[in-house]
A and B are shown apart, each in its own frame.
Chain A
């Protein structure tokens, strides 16, 4: 045993529990400051209700079942719209990434459509679908289509051609080549598209619900505005923030699970 081995090891102090809490310090601090500002009368309650008042409003809505119902409706619309738009976007991304013919046929059209802000279609969508469920699903699907499509296409196009050549040399069939080389190679880029799409999903849904809906979080906020229930309006906004964070965390967890080979996701 050498002298160095016998010395006590200097270790960086490790706080295992603290690691998970650090990201929440800033949001908590904002709430505390907000509460103080309201309690001291620095901010009038007509402008911004105190967090405790917002929590109370939330509790009431929770008891009446209205909150859960609206969250559920919005969540259902978001998921279905996301699955439809994301599925179609992914399929087009695959087709145009793998087939030159398909890319020539559809890419120019898709790029033109992409440059129309999808929320600009709201008047048209209301005329077509009324304030039915399909109007919201259509808008969400349209919104998430493009980030998924573009990033899937980009991911497939940028797979290392040397790896594809290697796969061919080693006798992989087209199916194997896709499963073992092209798809895993495109996956990091597909995840970038997924996270963009989740953001656009909430944005589209809330806008659509505030304009044309009879249920959902956006509708709840608009109704509250009609009756000057500012605490419910603030509550809705906070719920958007939490749901957005939840969607982002879910996609990150999925990313960590499937990209464990990637140096950026390896634990040291």
Chain B
């Protein structure tokens, strides 16, 4: 967890400007949602694997509590960006700083694969998410609450192998939520699910984000998913942020509405145009 502790350094610029706090309030569509999210400032972020430079200078500020989607073609570096934010990789250059001091339990990641321990019951799998607080007296109660939140309260005693793909992913979500994170990063969490399960999972993600007020960072290749869920869509091309769209559509959003479709069309157009002249994506 050394990587996460590295982010302790406060970002002076972000704290000094109180308008970020105001901005953050705007994203909490539930009036009673806790203002728990952390803001995030990324400066000059670069990441190379050997000779291959995956990220070539990312600069972005994400206000507390915002739901940001990161889209791009495969190999554009979006997953690497997420792994850097989550502290799973170290940047080659540049910095990522959170608005306040972040504990390891404050930043959680959810992957495309549920990554549940097959030899632990559903409830113990959720308890894993408590990190160092696992041995506290209320650990089980908290894990149960998180399971109920994702609608799987009745599956607490099951083995993961008997659950469906969507249910496993919901257990993974409960495990990520149980420590009440302030930043939750999703790496294509719905990529392996069928279309209907995916829509119900999208609703669930939106609901927990609205209830809990964490800062959400969603990496996806599905532009319609990005515009349906996010306040803001970042398009990454060749290791840089090529476009930054605001999704100013009120929630709850009507799937298939004209506003969403128009925005989705615009983002897709940008993505396709932007990659026509690059050969390394093909």
Contacts and interface: CB of A to CB of B under 8 A. Distances in A.
B192 to A, nearest CB: 13
A162 B111 contact: yes
Interface in A148-185: 162-163, 165-172, 180-181, 184-185
Interface in B82-99: 86, 88
B120 A180 contact: yes
Contacts of A172: 128
Nearest to A164: B115
Contacts of B117: 163, 180-181, 184
B111 A170 contact: no
Contact of B159 (A162, A185, A266): A266
Contact of A169 (B109, B113, B118, B162): B109
A261 B120 contact: yes
Contacts of A263: 161
A15 to B, nearest CB: 27
B129 interface: yes
B132 interface: yes
B184 to A, nearest CB: 12
B70 to A, nearest CB: 19
Given A170-B131, A171-B105, A171-B132, A261 B86 contact: no
B16 interface: no
Contacts of B160: 261
A169 B115 CA distance: 12
A11 interface: no
A9 interface: no
Interface in B53-86: 86
B210 to A, nearest CB: 25
A262 interface: yes
A163 B161 contact: no
Nearest to B108: A169
B49 interface: no
A170 B88 CA distance: 11
A262 B118 contact: yes
Contacts of A169: 86, 88, 108-109
Contacts of A184: 117, 119
B246 to A, nearest CB: 31
Prevailing SS type, chain A contact patch: helix
A162 B118 contact: no
B152 interface: no
Sorting the interface of chain A by its residue count into under 10, 10 to 19, 20 to 34 or 35 or more gives: 20 to 34
B104 interface: yes
B135 to A, nearest CB: 10
A262 B115 CA distance: 15
B119 A261 contact: yes
Contacts of B113: 162
Contacts, number: 49
A261 B161 contact: yes
Contacts of B131: 170-171
Contact of A170 (B119, B120, B129, B162): B129
Contacts of A166: 111, 115, 128
B137 interface: no
A231 B37 CA distance: 82
A261 B1 contact: no
B193 to A, nearest CB: 18
- Residue among A166, A185, A262 with the most chain B CB within 10 A? A166
B119 A171 contact: no
Contacts of B175: 170
B172 to A, nearest CB: 9
B268 to A, nearest CB: 31
Interface string B109-138: 101010101111000000011011000000
A183 to B, nearest CB: 9
Given A165-B88, A171-B105, A261 B159 contact: yes
A172 B86 CA distance: 16
A162 B117 CA distance: 10
14 contacts: A162-B111, A163-B117, A165-B88, A170-B128, A171-B104, A171-B105, A180-B117, A180-B128, A181-B117, A184-B117, A184-B119, A261-B120, A261-B159, A263-B161
Q: What are the 9 tightest A-B residue pairs by CB atom distance, in nearest-first order?
A: A171-B131, A184-B119, A166-B115, A261-B119, A263-B161, A261-B159, A170-B128, A171-B104, A162-B115
Interface of A: 162-163, 165-172, 180-181, 184-185, 187, 259-263, 266
Interface of B: 1, 86, 88, 104-105, 108-109, 111, 113, 115, 117-120, 128-129, 131-132, 159-162, 175
Given A170-B175, A261-B159, 8 more contacts: A163-B115, A170-B129, A180-B117, A260-B159, A261-B160, A261-B161, A262-B161, A266-B159
